Structures are given as C-alpha cells and as structure tokens.
Structure 1
Amino acid sequence: MIFPKYVSLFLPLALLACSPAPTKSLVVSADPHLGVYFVDGSVNNKPVTFLVDTGATMLNLPISSAKSMGITIPKSYQLATLSDGSAIQTYSVDIKKLKVGDCTLDNVPATFTDTSSPYALFGESVIKKVSLVVANEQMKISCKG
C-alpha cells in the first residue's frame, strides 16, 4: 500500500526503547519514480535499506542477508500468502536490535524469505512501534520515550 498524499499515523509503542537523549525525527522523501519511501537503518548493527510497506504484516528480510546479520534461520517454516495469491515460505525470527534514525527497537518479530529483492520490508511489526507522519511527499519517523 502506498501512502496517500496526507496521512498521519500515530501507533502504539509496545517494546520501543529509545535513547534517553531527546529524540530527533528521521525525515525521508518519497522516491520520485516509485512514490514509495526507502529508509536506511540497521539490523544487529548491519546496514539495511528498508522499503516502508504498510501492507506488510511483518518486518521481512531477504534470507540471503541473515548470516551477515548474525541470525540463524530456523529449520521450520510457515507458508504465507502474498497479495497476488501465491504462497511463500517464511522463517520467523526475533531481531535482537533494529535501528532507524534515533529509534532502537529490541526483540522485533520478523520473517525471512527467499526473495530477490535487495530491500527489507518495514512492515507493521515495526511501524506499530514508532510514530509515522506523512505529508507533502515526506515521511517523518520518530520514537517516543
């Protein structure tokens, strides 16, 4: 789902941990060609580019990136249905540390999938833990302490 031109979402902060210093917001502009928002952050201190996807239930990362993030993929998997009706194997993991802007999130539920996309999907399992405001083709992400 792509954000309308003016949207304001204030979502619950369950399990959110921010540094005690006053927080700053991360402001990003919509990609001029795709109309979506890309956000740089990190997973377990490894750099990651996230694609903000309000239609994604979970934080989702390419399985090929797991090893570099120090994550062991479990042997068991679940089948998830994609928006086009196809099914894909997903491996559930808790991310020890996810950072976006000044927000640090601990033990974030995530899934890993075998995908060719170079981007991690910044889905609802993360979105519900931060404050997102979208206006004038800019997205502001901030945490509350």
Structure 2
Amino acid sequence: MSKFKKKKGGELPAVNTASLPDIVFMLLFFFMVVTVLRDSNLLVKNDLPKADQVEKLKKDRSVYIFAGRPSQRYQDKYGKEGRIQIGDKYTDVSSLKSALAETRAKLRPELQDKVMVALKVDEDTNTGLVTDIKQELREMNMLKIIYITSPGNQVDN
C-alpha cells in the first residue's frame, strides 16, 4: 500500500478557449477603428506634376479639387475636355461655389473658416480651367490654396 500513485497517462490538459471570442472582437474593433476608408473615387486622369521641394501637410482642414481629363472609362460619357471633380462628382465652373460650400459644411465647425483648398491638377490640364477655379475661390474668399505634386524633378523626366 503506497500513498503515492502515478498518473496513468502523460496527456496535456485541454486548452481553455473561453476568452477566444473576446480576443476576436477586440481585434475586430481595433481594425475597424484604425482602417481608413477611401473618400472618393477618382474620375479624372491625375498624373501630378513633379516638384523637388515638397512638404507634407495635415489633411484635416483641406478640401480637395481634382482637375483633368476624364479617365479612359469615362471618356465615352463625358468627353475628353478637362473636368473638375469634387468628392465623387463632376462639377462645372458655374456650380463650383455650391459644391465647395457643401464640402466646407462637412468639415468641423472650428475649421470651416480656415479651409485650405488642395488642387490636384493633372499635368496636361489646360491652364484656363485652373484660372477659372482660382477665380471662383477668390469670390468665395477661400484664399489658401495648395498645389499637390508628386516628389521628383521635372527636368530629369
């Protein structure tokens, strides 16, 4: 009669999976919070001009205006002339004020008076279209304009 008995098998105990759903939901919420969704679908061709002195700016108070010819898949419907895009819609120069006012209203109230307009203009776009956009911006008193470029040197290309 021995007091000590040997275990009858060297099996490992089962893994406790009770906290697994908690971990899965925590990861799900993490990825939902940190994922950035695309704001708009680009309808215009957008080969940006090159610049050798570029600076990264904050996006929180910017309104983006895209200008250029329609992309290949939209040329049958909209033609090959330069167009203006704000958000997911084409806009012409005459309705640019209302589209900008609508986009400005979507910003936080404290930033609506400090709006920067970011122009993403295709390098082959007619200068007259850019001049018309800038004239409309002057009339709306949106005087802070940034031109978005891609890094590089235009002379090298």
TM-score normalised over the length of structure 1: 0.24
With CA pairs under 8 Å and 6+ residues apart, which has the higher RCO, 1 or 2?
Answer: 1
The structure in which a higher percent of residues are strand is: 1
- Structure with bigger gyration radius: 2
TM-score normalised over the length of structure 2: 0.23
